[in-house]
């Protein structure tokens, strides 16, 4: 996961599990192969997050081992080539809800420290 961020000093700061959550969220919109998943995350973060094979594919394998995604080799609709497409499972959908809730709680807690309300200062 550490190689997914563009700037080296930020790489180590990415919280563990964030990549898993982003992949699960990406697959919520439908099946995708690894390259599509990485490009979607890169595009939607305005190139802030750069997906590297060394972090994305181990994450996909980890999610599959946990039963949160399944995969199947299929022909790409626009190419004469097979790709491994990943799909979110029902268990993965439930885990995404948990991950999103935990992420929101953590982001709100950090925000309270970083930008305390005027009456608290």
Ordered structural domains, the chain, with CATH:
2-120 (1.10.10.10)
Q: Rounded mean pLDDT of 88-111? A: 95
Q: Please write the tens of the pLDDT for every residue from 72-99.
A: 999 888 878 999 999 999 999 999 999 9
In the chain, where do the E strands start and end? Answer: 32-33, 69-75, 82-88
**Residues 59 and 1 sit within 8 Å (Cβ to Cβ):** yes
Q: Which of 67-71, 72-76, 115-119 has the highest mean pLDDT?
A: 67-71
Q: Rounded mean pLDDT of 55-62? A: 93
pLDDT band at residue 120 under the 50/70/90 scheme? low
How confident is the model at residue 4, as a pLDDT? Answer: 47
């Amino acid at each position: 996961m550490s190689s997914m961020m563009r700037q080296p000093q930020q790489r180590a700061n990415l919280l563990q599990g964030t990549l898993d959550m982003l992949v699960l969220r990406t697959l919520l919109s439908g099946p995708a192969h690894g390259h599509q998943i990485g490009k979607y995350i890169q595009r939607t973060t305005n190139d802030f997050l750069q997906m590297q094979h060394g972090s994305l594919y181990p994450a996909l394998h980890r999610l599959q081992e946990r039963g949160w995604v399944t995969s199947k080799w299929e022909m790409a609709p626009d190419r004469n080539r097979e790709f491994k497409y990943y799909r979110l499972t029902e268990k993965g959908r439930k885990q995404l809800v948990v991950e999103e809730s935990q992420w929101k709680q953590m982001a709100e807690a950090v925000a309270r420290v970083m930008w305390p309300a005027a009456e608290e200062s």
